[in-house]
Amino acid sequence: MKYFFLSYLFVGAIIVSAFGLRGSKSELPPLEVFQDMDHQAKVKYQATSEFFADGRGARLPVKGTVPMGFEIPAKAAAKGGKPPRFGFTNGLGYYDTGKMGDFYGDGLPTEITGDPSVFNAGFLKRGEERYNINCAICHGVSGNGKGVTSKYGIMTAFNLQQPGSLDAANAGAYRADGAIFDVITNGKGLMGGYGGNITVRDRWAIVAYIRSLQLAAKEAGVTLQ
């Protein structure tokens, strides 16, 4: 028994001498028993790689593909299509911000309505699909603000405000299209922004789809709540 305790102390002393007391600060790099993920085999940008025959680390995009973050052109370049447009925003105009000067604008921008390859029945379908993927969990499939998150009490459990109903009286009457676009881009209150996930064109498609949800509710004479 004595040796057991002694060996126990001995092992303890070895651990402390090798790793130090946890919590004590040191300027030395940390000791890694199992390799951390900061050390891993990877190709750094601009670096060469012997793995590929041409020796380049960075690969050229596969021919005919559209890089991530770009909107897929309606027509191939060979058939007169425009080059793919960056899908996320850097611009300052109405299309990219939903604002005209200091005010939110209303109506879809001409970048959408003026391009028949974008503004067609598929546009609203795209909006429906993107809405159901990104927004319905909180705002509900019908836009009544009662998505699954509210059903399972997630919003209330974390003491969060329930997502707003997107009913016309709620989100429409005082909200211009540009204002809804801005909520999607930057979030509002407790809602996070989706500007980094949803392309500009898809955000406008969602705005159009929200309008169609509001219209459908109005036609049916129901309030989304």
Q: How many CA atoms lie within 13 A of 81 on its CB side?
A: 16
Check residue 153 for interaction with ligand HEC (CB under 6 A).
no
Letter string b/e over residues 167-191, b meaning 16 or more CB atoms within 10 A of that residue's CB: bbebbbeebbbbbbbbbbbeeeeeb
Beta carbon of residue 175, minimum distance to ligand HEC (angstroms, whole number): 6
Question: Among residues 94 and 203, whose Cβ is nearest to ligand HEC?
Answer: 203
Check residue 208 for interaction with ligand HEC (CB under 6 A).
no
Check residue 213 for interaction with ligand HEC (CB under 6 A).
no
Interior CA angle at 221 toward 216 and 225, to 5°?
A: 80
Residues in the chain: 225
Beta carbon of residue 133, minimum distance to ligand HEC (angstroms, whole number): 8
Neighbours of 92 (CB within 10 A): 9
Beta carbon of residue 130, minimum distance to ligand HEC (angstroms, whole number): 7
The contact mask relative to ligand HEC for 107-146 (x = CB under 6 A, - = no) is: ---------------------------xx-xxx-------
Neighbours of 39 (CB within 10 A): 8
The contact mask relative to ligand HEC for 61-80 (x = CB under 6 A, - = no) is: --------------------
Give the residue, chosen from 206, 208, 217, 224, that forms a contact with ligand HEC under the rule CB under 6 A: 206
The contact mask relative to ligand HEC for 163-202 (x = CB under 6 A, - = no) is: xx-x---xx--------x--xx---xxxx--x--------
Question: Among residues 98 and 163, whose Cβ is nearest to ligand HEC?
Answer: 163
Q: How far apart are CA 204 and CA 108, in angstroms?
A: 7
Question: Among residues 43 and 169, whose Cβ is nearest to ligand HEC?
Answer: 169
Interior CA angle at 45 toward 193 and 91, to 5°?
A: 35
Among 215, 210, 202, 212, CA closest to 95: 202
Neighbours of 145 (CB within 10 A): 20
Binding site for ligand HEC (CB under 6 A): 134-135, 137-139, 149, 161, 163-164, 166, 170-171, 180, 183-184, 188-191, 194, 206
